[in-house]
Structure 1
């Protein structure tokens, strides 16, 4: 769009991981990335447009923000909940420091600053979100009407790699970061029920794990042993992108364990690959997953899996092409339009510049 961009993050990104995903073409931009903490938010430096891509967690506000120069992408209004609960891990994320170095009074004051910044950010910017489900939650929490801009999903890569596969068996796929907030134990409880009903040949649970997720992962492995499911459930930790595509080629059903998922990027990825999604009947994914594959109870989920395992190839193709609306190209077009509508910046280049294609990347669903 002909716009100069300055990148600012809460933490310095891992340049090697970014290079592996996007190549070396953005090395210069990555090296120029600045970092900030909440205490720097009151600074005076301004830009034509400021875009906060993580407004659900980062309460970033400057005194000159307005709806015509600031865009906040809020995936779900969780920051206020974390602030109200005094969540220590969230405090560490914001402050980039250890809690033991501050007093309770200092932490309380810091959270008050964060709460004030969060409220002002939401009311003094153009707010975007990922689904109607999240839009309603934002309005209920902040009284702000946001615009739905679905996240970018590399649907073509998944479709081209797996849709036409003739190697599918009765395996069930789960994709999620190994973290307590993802409720992966629900997948294990459900696997026990599948075994009892003699449904499915295997459940593959794929995802990334960080150092602070080790204890939760050990709990999941213990749960598998308690249920005697060692021969049914297989964990694929920090799997490569090629390995993920390989699992999508052999899977018939995808199970999402978390009710209330704001959108569900991994669900769209699985659908693009021709894997039938089985999801809770609460959350953003209810806006694109067929009703017959949504469940309220695990018994209903068992029936949905049975239907998914018997689904014909024609249904897999139909489900795959339904996800085209969530493509990266559509996301780029949508974001360009919003930037041009919010500000005078980019209006002329928007008319002249073709939509660019994003480089190959690792799937966001495994890391987010």
Structure 2
């Protein structure tokens, strides 16, 4: 049984119970807290909590939390202005009150970076199981190199997409940003910045997966701009397509491939030029590494974890 706060797409083939019969597109972090009111209606259950938040479910059953790094602790957006700090304050107060729940729950982290963050926030030790990636689909985009780099991210301020424009300007390599449009005003600002920097970066919001794969077929490499991110699924998707990823050292993304990691944007620009020029064999090795993150592997590892804890057989 899947339990959600609002009615969600993508669960048509599963039994789903929701608290509110419509989707709420905003306040994602606070929605995760409120899933508690939906989930608690199923006592004596094994709860697989995919929200990453230690909502108080242990009193109703066994509580397993699959979590990334706490976003309000590591994402720069939430420290960027008094408004964002005020926005996150109730959430941080709630998390502080929920620390007792973390002592009774089992944590599974989606990266070593996340596990370290969870240790700092909740004082817990976590098993690490990397998330599932549809590597076969993105393998269709494999090729020997193109003439632009690609960034895949939700188009919102927390993703630091200004860095994509900066790196294009510094390296002279054209770039394309693909992602779900979450903040139209932010996209408008990015397009203006791109024009000021020579129009080296284009934006393609809300593409389908097939359209994204077509864009990848013309790319030479991948740039990940977001520091403090718990993992970075698009990084492994790019690897499956043979695109060398340039990723921040301060992120879980560096665990997937650490050959082209950076701290400063100037360093990233140099790494991007190196990534552009790798040969076919290097791209093949990326594809092989990405295959380790398959959905089948995730299911097997998670099932084995549950079995070892006596929660499945």
Q: Which TM-score band (shorter chain)?
A: 0.7 to 0.9
Segments of 5+ residues of structure 2 without an aligned counterpart are 21-30
* Cα pair 1:281 1:294 within 8 Å, conserved: yes
Query: 1:89 Cα shift?
Result: 5.3
Asked if 1:64 is matched to 2:59, the reply is yes
Instruction: Call closer, same or farther: CA 1:205–1:247 in 2, change over 3 Å.
Output: same
1:240-251 paired onto structure 2 within 5 Å? 240-251=208-219
Structure 1 residue 341 corresponds to structure 2 residue 313: no
Do residues 76 (structure 1) and 69 (structure 2) align? yes
| Partner in structure 2 of residue 145 of structure 1 | 125
1:255 maps onto 2:223 in alignment: yes
Given candidates 139, 146, 151, the residue that maps to 1:174 is 151
Question: What is the match of residue 235 of structure 1?
Answer: 203
Query: Higher RCO, 1 or 2 (CA under 8 Å, sep at least 6)?
Result: 1
Give the conservation status (yes or no) of the 8 Å contact 1:41–1:60. no
List per-residue Cα deviations over 1:16-52 (Å, max 9, x = no partner).
Answer: xx27xxxx6x0x624x444593673895741330111
Work out the CA distance in 2 between the residues paired with 1:87 and 1:204: 31
Superposition CA RMSD, Å: 2.7
Q: State TM-score, norm by structure 2.
A: 0.84
Q: What residue number does 2:45 align with?
A: 48
- Kept after mapping to 2: 8 A contact 1:162/1:245: yes
Match of 1:115 in 2: 96
Q: Which residue of 1 aligns with 2:108?
A: 128
Unaligned runs of 5+ in 1: 1-5, 92-107, 348-368
C-alpha contact 2:150 2:176 (8 A) present in aligned 1: yes
From the two aligned structures, give the one with the greater strand fraction.
Answer: 2
Alpha-carbon distance in structure 1 between the residues aligned to 2:252 and 2:73: 20
Q: Is the 8 A contact 1:41 1:62 kept in 2?
A: no
Check the 8 A contact 2:19/2:37 in 1, yes or no. Answer: no
What SS does the aligned partner of 1:152 have?
Answer: coil
The answer to whether 1:324 aligns with 2:305 is no
Distance 1:65 1:119, change over 3 A: farther
Of 269, 272, 276, the match for 2:240: 272
TM-score by length of 1: 0.72
Cα distance in 1, alignment partners of residues 152 and 39 from structure 2 = 39
Matches within 5 A, 1:209-228: 209-210=181-182, 213-228=183-198
Following superposition, the deviation at residue 226 of structure 1 comes to 2.0
Question: 1-side partners of 2:252 and 2:36: how far apart?
Answer: 34
Give a deviation string over 1:114-138, Cα, whole Å, max 9, x none. Answer: 532x313322111011111111111
CA distance in 1, matches of 2:251, 2:213: 25
Counterpart contact for 1:86–1:111, Cα < 8 Å = no
DSSP 3-state at the match of 2:51: coil
Q: Are the aligned partners of 1:257 and 1:279 in contact in 2 as well (CA < 8 Å)?
A: yes
Match of 2:168 in 1: 191
Aligned length: 294
Maintained 8 Å contact 1:49/1:343:
no
Cα separation, 2, equivalents of 1:80 and 1:310: 36
